[in-house]
Chain A
Amino acid sequence: MSDYAAGAQGNYLQKEGRGGILSWIFSTDHKRIGILYLVAILSLFLVGVTLGFFMRLELITRGPTIMAANTYNSLFTLHGVIMLFLFIIPVTPSVFGNFLLPIMIGAKDVAFPRLNLLSWWFYMAGAFLAILTLLIANGPADTGWTFYAPYSIRTGTNVTLALSAVVVLGFSSILTGINFVTTVHRLRAPGMTWMRLPLFVWAVYATAWIQILATPILGVNLMLVVAERLLGIGIFDPAKGGDPILYQHLFWIYSHPAVYIMILPAMGAISEIVPVFARRTIFGYKAVAYSSIGIAAVGSLVWGHHMFVSGFSYTAGVYFSLFTFFVAIPSAIKVYNWVGSLYKGSLEAATPLLYAFAFIFLFSIGGLTGLILGALSLNIHLHDTYFVVAHFHYVKFGGAGFGFFAALHYWFPKMFGRMYNTKLANVALLLLFIGFNTLFFPLFVLGFQGMPRRYYDYLPQFTNGQLISIVGSWILVAGVILMVGNLIHALFKGKKAQANQWGGATLEWQVPSPPPKENFEEIPEVKYGPYHFKRD
């Protein structure tokens, strides 16, 4: 992999010092850290989806099939915790943010390289703790990823350890956020004005702010639950005068903005891909850039839409519903502008663009069903049913997940200097797309019929929907295996990629593939916006 001459410095993959694993896990090079995240996160992703797969398998028949009720409960908790805190929240900012953000703004590294490495270590520690809950006595937490009090205070499973894992991951997230905000403010190359930042950078920048501002509240909230379990301070325990609803408020104050931590960077990646393959500038650059900030800002005011039936006040319900609808506006703007950017373009049907199309399709379904959930009277019926499960798999897997896959196929040649087999990649996409819809679309119907979520067992009228969905999961498995296999094969045997594989205009495409150790021999001077394409 490392036999490329990349200028005088050699590329970042080439052996450094004594080489070996140590030269990776103690490296402060943002590119190596990005790769470290990629390896760690993809492994955990495979663990998480495998859990999801087994959950689906359990639901293949009514009654106990392959596991007991409390195993199922632990599985969806762990599935949720891994998928959210270990996969989808960190994936795009940590992998591509780390790898690309400095190069895209023309810097040699992030502002605090050592802190950056520390965040990765925190991430690993958190992952370790989360996995540890599986192995020690009492078994993994069985609370659902939301850890609602008072059940989380009472249950005998390893909730304390799981909560500690999430708090440690929170540290990792905060440190990354601080690093990125400072980097964008301080390290832009000359001429890289705010209005010339690639849209991916805007998205990561907005994400970083949410990470900084929202994560501490989750952290302290979970610490309170730990204190409640160990000491019994009573804040969330009605027997002592506490109030479990307050837990939900504090939880969603973080966790709603967190869903935008997941989606924003993916949207940023799509905003890079669409103009490059349309060979024209993005439609409404400013609107797309500011809508990232808009999502981050309005997104922090809507947390109550998870609590419409918790029994909080009527006025609060109306307020939160109204803002929930407003938060759709910036997302809608982005979708319009992506579609608008195709107009009068010169489109190349390359793999990343196809993945981006799948993203737009699936994310729109997910987002629009979010609006259905945000409508007050409908939420009463749909809350905590499979409708919600379908909604969030569409936005998270269909949105953030497919966005990540799109980014992976777009930047893969840059990161590793090799190309994958595009035919196979397209076939994998087709399988993923069909499998995904077969798996998750029936869940909308089940939800409307009234199938509650987190149910180990179900009533006869839900059988058909469950069966279709299970078949979908098999197709999806085939897609994931094909996609990952194709990429791994390309890593070792793929054709050499060009420096500017897709004809992009942002800075990362102006350096060799894979990028040299120091990114740039000389800090470049930026003269144009990010989507100013050379025409032949």
Chain B
Amino acid sequence: MNETAEIAANKHKDYTGAKIGMWLFLFTELFLFFGPFLLYSIFRYRYSTDFINAGSELSLFVGSINTVVLLTSSLSVALSISALQKGNKKLTLLLLGVTIVLGAVFLVNKYFEWDAKIVHGLYPGAEALLSRPKGEILFFGLYFFMTGLHALHVIAGMSVLAVITFFVMRDKVTQSDYVKIENGGLYWHLVDVIWIYLFPLFYLIR
């Protein structure tokens, strides 16, 4: 029997297959964000000054903190994978926990940031926003849509990691069978990568 036949016989243990599947899924996620990014670039081109004005109202400070938080969490998830590969279950669990907590910190920050905007009447449909130039309305529309969609992905990523933590505890994901944690880590990196694009587009444009 050659390799493919072996895989076919034990259908549930095909690591390469699982990886291919995961990468394809990540592609779909990228394409999901591709749409709004395209809209962003078109409107930015049409209303460049409005975009710059609106962008300077976002808090660069909170944005930078969140960037650091997410980057750190990406690191911790990567470390948790290599910890598991070395067979250190305790450290793996700890690092996964850290990652999830960092995700939560990100969301809490985001909440305060959104709240500050909403208090100032800068949310879609608000009178205060509607009286501003059109480009600014669109900027904030896109801002809430894209960061909201991203926040949903953070929540999804946290849930995935939580399930994986559970699997590690139950020894369903182990040193010799770690493709699930790898895939979970990949997903978390994707969430991070998307943020890396969102950050300059919304916070650094000024």
Contact = CB atoms under 8 A, between A and B. Distances in A.
Partners in one complex: yes
Interface of A: 106-109, 111-113, 115, 174, 177-179, 181-182, 185-190, 212-217, 219-221, 223-224, 227, 231-235, 240-243, 246, 250, 523
Contacts of B8: 106-108, 187, 189, 523
Interface string B134-159: 11011011101100010000000000
Nearest to B19: A182
A220 B24 contact: no
Given A231-B144, A233-B124, A523-B8, A250 B35 contact: yes
B4 A188 contact: yes
B138 A216 contact: no
Contacts of A108: 8-9, 11
A186 B24 contact: no
Nearest to A247: B39
Contacts of A190: 1-2, 4-5
B182 interface: no
B108 interface: no
Given A113-B11, A178-B21, A233-B141, A213 B27 contact: yes
B28 A212 contact: yes
A213 B31 contact: yes
| Interface secondary structure of A, over-half rule | helix
Contact of A111 (B14, B36, B39, B145): B14
Interface in B21-55: 21, 24-25, 27-29, 31-36, 38-39, 42-43, 47
Nearest to B40: A235
B98 interface: no
A216 B28 contact: yes
Contacts of A215: 28
A109 to B, nearest CB: 6
B130 interface: yes
Contacts of A242: 138, 141
Range of interface residues on B (Cβ < 8 Å)? 35 or more
Contacts of B1: 190, 523
Nearest to A519: B8
A233 B145 contact: yes
Contact of A246 (B5, B11, B42): B42
Contacts of B119: none
A246 B140 CA distance: 18
Contacts of B123: 231
B21 A111 contact: yes
B17 interface: yes
Nearest to B143: A233
A189 B142 contact: no
A240 B137 contact: yes
Interface string B114-131: 000000000111000010
B4 A187 contact: yes
Interface of B: 1-2, 4-5, 7-9, 11, 14, 16-17, 20-21, 24-25, 27-29, 31-36, 38-39, 42-43, 47, 123-125, 130, 133-135, 137-138, 140-142, 144-145, 149
Given A179-B21, A186-B14, A240-B141, A217 B4 contact: no
A185 B16 CA distance: 10
A439 B2 CA distance: 55
B5 A240 contact: no
B134 A235 contact: no
Given A106-B8, A113-B11, A217 B31 contact: yes
Contact of B11 (A106, A111, A174): A111
Contacts of A233: 124, 140-142, 144-145
B43 to A, nearest CB: 8
B16 A178 contact: no
B95 to A, nearest CB: 27
Contacts of A240: 130, 134, 137-138, 141
24 contacts: A107-B8, A109-B11, A111-B11, A174-B25, A177-B24, A182-B17, A182-B24, A186-B4, A186-B14, A186-B16, A213-B27, A213-B28, A213-B31, A217-B35, A224-B39, A224-B145, A227-B124, A232-B125, A234-B141, A240-B134, A241-B138, A250-B35, A250-B39, A523-B1
B134 to A, nearest CB: 3
Contacts of B134: 240-241
Nearest to A253: B35
B40 to A, nearest CB: 10
Contacts of A112: 17, 21
A185 B138 contact: no
A188 B134 CA distance: 55
A216 B28 CA distance: 6
B32 to A, nearest CB: 4
B21 A234 contact: no
B31 A185 contact: no
B14 A221 contact: no
Contacts of A234: 124, 137-138, 141
Contacts of B4: 186-190
B145 A212 contact: no
Nearest to B140: A233
A178 B17 CA distance: 10
A181 B36 contact: no
Contacts of B24: 177-178, 181-182, 212
